Amino acid sequence: MGVEGKVVAITGASSGIGRATAKLLAERGAFVVLGARSEETLAATVDEIAAAGGKAVYKATDVRKRGHLEALVALAIERGGRLDVIVNNAGIGPISRFDALRVDDWDAMIDVNLRGALYGIAAALPAFKRQQSGHVINIVSTAGLKIVPTMGVYAATKNAVRTISEALRQEAGPYLRVTEISPGMISTNFASSITDPAVKAAIGERASNVAIPPSSIARGVAFAIEQPADVEIGSIVIRPTAQD
């Protein structure tokens, strides 16, 4: 029970929800293993955690590459002796209307949001099986709960991961916990990946009015982890009170 002493691998850990989660879990005594594409930002985050008395390491990780996820898990086991939790957080959202035909953006979301989560699961499961314990936390989205224009492909990738989470939970038996967390509008760099200028401006304006900090999601991750081993938090929705 609790977070202290747990070894936690986090993807998309250089900014936003991933970074906030890494800092909070390290503050509570976890050994965090951070993965993202931006090595410079990862190094700065690890330095910040260490300066506050926490324990963290990092590895440049592109979740579109299965070997990178395997290397991240291997680093966790090498430096932490085991892997207790993997947080599949990496995601992008270059949203647009279907008739904009931004097919490259569709492919990118499938590769990062869906395939990346699957690669994280595939990398962690052998370790969890050996240990007969483990916890998969998948960050999905409220976009999959309320479908709106421009969010079609993004929501589809997140709902695919939601389905995967439930099937994995049923297959896993009593030793593996599976949690999916649905953030609402959060103050992150989500809009930076949007290639449609009009949609990008609308999302940015909406976020400035209602978004809550990524630490709100980090607390949800910590809550799921800190439960006793025989308690699984299957699903959490965390959104601004002002969100529609």
Other C-beta atoms closer than 10 Å to the C-beta of 148 total: 10
Provide CB contacts within 8 A for 240, sequence distance 6+.
184, 185, 210, 211, 212
- Tell me if residue 119 is catalytic: no
Q: CA-to-CA distance for 77 and 83, rounded, in angstroms?
A: 6
* Partner residues linked to 11 by β-bridges: 35
Compute φ and ψ for 172, nearest 5 degrees.
-75, -25
Question: Annotated catalytic residue: which of 58, 119, 154, 175?
Answer: 154
User: Coil, helix or strand for 113?
Assistant: helix
CA angle 118, 139, 146 (to 5 degrees): 110
What positions carry a catalytic annotation? 154
